[in-house]
Structure 1
């Protein structure tokens, strides 16, 4: 005689996952229309699913005012829990799919600038030597508050130990100098001096919206090392442009729109190729600002992680930008 199984009260009381998925999409975008587009269904389907969910729970999840919606207190509570649950489910499914694909994968977390200007240039070399490894890259400007469910194998950042369970290896110090295109220098010969550079178009890295894990370096800070006050620019001088996206600043430099501060590990290849030049010889090395390769201690002996770690450290040494190499190169 078959043994009867007691009903699972949690599963029995669970609302429809389809309805919860529609709710999460609508709550994320605060729009039924955008939720429908995101899930490739009709707006009517989204509205119906959310009405059924509200009926099941006995509360309103949205305040509806005309064409706009906003979450109620109950809606906020459900969204916080449901979104995290969906993230965990999606990532678990991704890990399962990765394992069944036969190719191990590493998840690497770094800044958008490092991924765009450093990593993307060199990954083809890694893949050529390691065709059996897949790489997942997660970019962020805030390493202290990662998205729920994101657990990178490796960080490349300025925090020695971003969280418990990770170990860090120092990579290099910040070496910073101005860069522009040869054409911009030709059209603006005065920028061959620091005083002339102060009065040209300066493309400045702003701190807004970026994680403040180290003292921010902008034009004002950099000029102060040479006793030049940026505030003495007259109102007739050319503009000072601010952006918190370093990739954008470098693209503007490449488009001959001004002078930006160049982080050596990011712009050195562009200088070597002649796309950028250093209009002045002055530079600043911030000994207290160190970049780290940080990896999960639990995977310290993992073959795949070790292969990527050794490859990255080799790149640093080959390019003479490691902490030791920079100092030796400049006789310090």
Structure 2
């Protein structure tokens, strides 16, 4: 018995793509003649396709004034969606067409925080050394649900072997300490003690964002590491600002708005530049909480991957929390 498939309402109700293509061109150039030239068709074909599209949608998409055309409100709404869809289709087609070509490419996936505060400072060197390699960056906090068609060659995060066909290399452990701007510390000198620190504005990474850097640490956990509790009683002077974006918290610290926890690998360059300073001498070290580089095994023998790994591991060896330091020293 043959099972009949129910009509797909999205595909059935979809306007003619040829008509939508003509509409996008006309909206982009605001002129039917220029749209026809861009698509290598006649102006009459453009006009006919747009009339058919307006009839199918039951709305007027353009206000016509001589040779020029202007989008109506409905036209603007439809153009925004249609143009973005065509861009996505074109980019996907380009990726498919480029597959197998000689030019090498690497797709790297990491958190927004690691991309902003670690890779962006170092990656230009790799790009300059290897102009033959195209580097594609993808940032996300949800490593287990990538967009369709996106299969990174390399992940940098706190998960080991997140999926089949990948292998992980441990990089460094967590060293966490409070940081703020030099001005904020100068205006609040008492915050160098644990007791005084509780009087500062504490910029706190909320649970929704901890996957960016270290999912197990916030101010409560950090103080507990030092055998102290945050005083959250009704008469407490405690001031906490919560956000799920470490980039935002770091920027607020740079803007003299409080103290945030700094993961050493993310803030060390800002300390070296003097834009941030450590607050006191207290720190929390979690050697069992590692960050990993995870790579797809089917790319591990390619020249692009080998070049990146050699360069990346040279950079990582400079990190004070690099997990292979003792092994390297023993080998030398």
CA deviations on 1:71-102 (whole Å, 9 max, x unpaired) are xxxxxxxxxxxx8x9968743422424766x6
Q: Work out whether residues 180 and 276 of structure 2, in 8 Å CA contact, stay in contact via their aligned partners in 1.
A: yes
**Are 1:142 and 2:142 matched, yes or no?**
yes
Residue pairs, 1:55-204, within 5 angstroms: 90-97=91-98, 103-204=103-204
Give the structure 2 partner of residue 75 of structure 1. Answer: none
- Contact persistence 1:178–1:278 (CA under 8 A): yes
Instruction: Report the secondary structure of 2:160's partner residue.
Output: coil
Change (3 A) 1:49 1:310: farther
Q: Is the 8 A contact 2:113 2:213 kept in 1?
A: no
1:173–1:287: 8 Å Cα contact kept in structure 2? yes
How far apart in 2 are the matches of 1:148 and 1:50?
A: 32
Return the alpha-carbon distance in structure 2 between the equivalents of residues 53 and 151 of structure 1.
37
Q: Give me the whole-angstrom Cα distance separating, in 2, the residues matched to 1:47 and 1:241.
A: 54
Instruction: Report the counterpart of residue 222 of structure 2 in structure 1.
Output: 222
Do 1:254 and 1:276's aligned partners in 2 also have CA atoms closer than 8 Å?
Answer: yes
Q: Is the 8 A contact 1:180 1:256 kept in 2?
A: yes
Structure 1 gaps, min length 5: 1-12, 23-35, 55-66, 69-82
Q: 1:251 aligns to what? A: 251
Residue 272 of structure 2 aligns with which residue? 272
| Equivalent residues of 1:165, 1:297 under 8 A apart | yes
Gap change, CA 1:210 and 1:98, over 3 Å in 2: farther
Cα distance in 2 between the residues matched to 1:234 and 1:199: 15
Structure 2 counterparts to residues 25-64 of structure 1, below 5 A: 40=28, 49=53, 52=56
What SS does the corresponding residue of 1:250 show, helix, strand or coil? helix
Alpha-carbon distance change, 210 to 187 in structure 1, aligned in 2, over 3 angstroms: closer
Q: How does 1:300-319 map to 2 (within 5 A)?
A: 300-319=300-319
Question: 3-state DSSP class of the match of 1:106?
Answer: strand
C-alpha distance in 2 between matches for 1:328 and 1:200: 41
Q: How has the CA–CA distance of structure 1 residues 46 and 129 changed in structure 2, closer, same or farther, with 3 Å as cutoff?
A: same
Task: Return closer, same or farther for 1:118/1:211 CA change in 2, 3 Å cut-off.
Answer: closer
Q: What are the superposed Cα offsets for residues 56-85 of structure 1, whole Å, 9 maximum, x if unpaired?
A: xxxxxxxxxxx99xxxxxxxxxxxxxx8x9
